[in-house]
């Protein structure tokens, strides 16, 4: 556990690494996984896996996340998920107009 505010890239790298075997079945090179990749719809995780995924991020970075501001349909989509986590962890921001963004997310 590193107890830091992760960047979106760090969160992305953690998730790609953690699920690389399952992602490889869908994307030949997991490093090239598109932001639109949906872990749930692609069968990488099930509904319980969402909790495991968030728990892994919290554990790795020593943070506690409030996921209530991220729309449910984006909670398993790589790009929106990693940007939201980075913003909620205090590093970076969610761009204006992104679902789930509110004034507390902007720098």
Write out pLDDT tens, residues 26-73. 999 999 999 999 999 999 999 899 999 999 999 999 988 888 999 999
Say which CATH class 8-105 falls into: mainly alpha
- Asked if 69 and 105 count as a contact pair (C-beta separation under 8 A), the reply is yes
Prediction pTM value: 0.78
Cα atoms found within 13 Å of the Cα of residue 7, Cβ hemisphere only: 3
What's the pLDDT band for 4 if we cut at 50, 70, 90?
low
The residue behind tokens 């943070």 is: 63
Give me the mean pLDDT over the 87-103 stretch. Answer: 51
Q: Determine the 3-state secondary structure of 77 from DSSP.
A: strand
pLDDT at 3: 54
Per domain, the residue ranges of the chain are 8-105
């Amino acid at each position: 556990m590193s107890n830091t505010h992760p960047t979106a890239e760090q969160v992305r790298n953690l998730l790609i690494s953690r699920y690389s075997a399952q992602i490889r079945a869908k994307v030949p090179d997991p490093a090239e996984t598109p932001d639109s990749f949906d872990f749930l719809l692609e069968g990488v995780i099930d509904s319980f896996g969402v909790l495991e995924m968030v728990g892994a991020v919290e554990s790795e970075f020593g943070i506690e996340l409030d996921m209530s501001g991220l729309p449910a349909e984006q909670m398993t989509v790589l790009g929106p998920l990693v940007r939201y986590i980075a913003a909620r962890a205090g590093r970076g921001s969610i761009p204006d107009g992104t679902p789930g963004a509110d004034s507390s997310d902007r720098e």
